Amino acid sequence: MHESGSACQSFLDAGQYTRDSILKYELVYGTNFVSPGGARCATRLIKKLDLPAYARVLDVGCGLGGSAFLMAQDFGLDVDAIDLSENMLALARERLAQTGLKNRVQLRNQDCLELYVQNYYDAIYSRDVFLHIHDKQKLFSNLYTALKPSGKLLFTDYCCDEKPWQSDFSAYVENRGYHLCTVSDYRKLLDVAGFGFIETFDRTKDFIRFCKTELDTINSLDIAQSDRTSLKNDWLKKIERARVSNQRWGMFYASK
Ligand SMILES: C[S@@+](CC[C@H](N)C(=O)[O-])C[C@H]1O[C@@H](n2cnc3c(N)ncnc32)[C@H](O)[C@@H]1O
């Protein structure tokens, strides 16, 4: 992605995450979510972290705050939720005000590449954010530093096959400005950053299953026909990229 935090922020806010597109994505993923599988998938992943109440968690790229709210409300965790998109955060702040969780969830505009805390978090959680980040070595080094000893890292992300890619997939990745890794690239990056107990999973089949459910949601939404058609096309292409082209979806777990 771009070199400075603020360049990144305008790239996100003026591009993929305009207020209108966020609200459209949210209709598909479910209230307060902008990632595959919505709240059900998030709940399963948070359970996997297996944290005691009052553990301190960093949600990197929290978006509208759905996961952070679940962590606080259903698991009794204290959450620092950071995001670089001001459009996301403005909506997240409105939603937080409605939850009564202000003492358990802190929302902050912050680039995860500019994270300077040390030995602070019991866990770091992130959903489909790292695709936006070019300097993944710096990313994982920062996250490692921010975790307490034995702290846990759990994330999901859009991934890819080894190159060469099909031309449609290359065009899609370039057009979005994504920086994708293979599932095994992520294992290496985590290893180099110092993480242990690394578990990596190719969850592309789950991703396709989520997309199909989201497609049913799109069909049932009370929206303009043109919006429905455009969302359906986006989701059908997503399924196609994961089924027969080079897109993968990964889930990753590691500890310090
Ligand atoms: C696909 S959305 C996922 C949002 C949320 N994790 C969810 O599950 O609904 C990706 C998010 O990553 C954020 N993001 C991208 N680059 C970031 C960075 N360098 N630091 C913090 N957040 C970032 C975007 O602004 C966006 O909100």
Burial class (CB in 10 A: 0-12, 13-18, 19+), 162: exposed
Helix (H) or strand (E) holding 247: strand 247-255
Residue spans of the chain under pLDDT 70: 1-7
CATH number, domain at 115? 3.40.50.150
DSSP conformation letters of 152-163: EEEEEEEEEPSS
Give whole-number Cα distances, 32 to 35, 70, 211, in Å: 10, 10, 17
At 14 the pLDDT is 86
Ligand 1 pocket member 142 (CB < 6 A): no
Ligand 1 pocket member 70 (CB < 6 A): no
pLDDT digits (tens, 9 = 90+) for 191-221: 999 999 999 999 999 999 999 999 999 999 9
Atom 16 in ligand 1: residue holding the nearest Cα? 132
How close is the Cα of 32 to the center of ligand 1, in Å? 13
At 7 the pLDDT is 56
Ligand 1 pocket member 133 (CB < 6 A): yes
Number of domains in the chain: 1
Strand partners, 252: 155, 200
Is pTM beyond 0.75 here? yes
How close is the Cα of 88 to the center of ligand 1, in Å? 8
State which of 25, 84, 140, 207 you would mutate to test the pocket of ligand 1, scoring each by most atoms of that ligand within 8 A of its C-beta: 84
At 5 the pLDDT is 47
Ligand 1 pocket member 13 (CB < 6 A): no
How close is the Cα of 131 to the center of ligand 1, in Å? 9
User: By residue range, what is the domain housing residue 76?
Assistant: 5-255
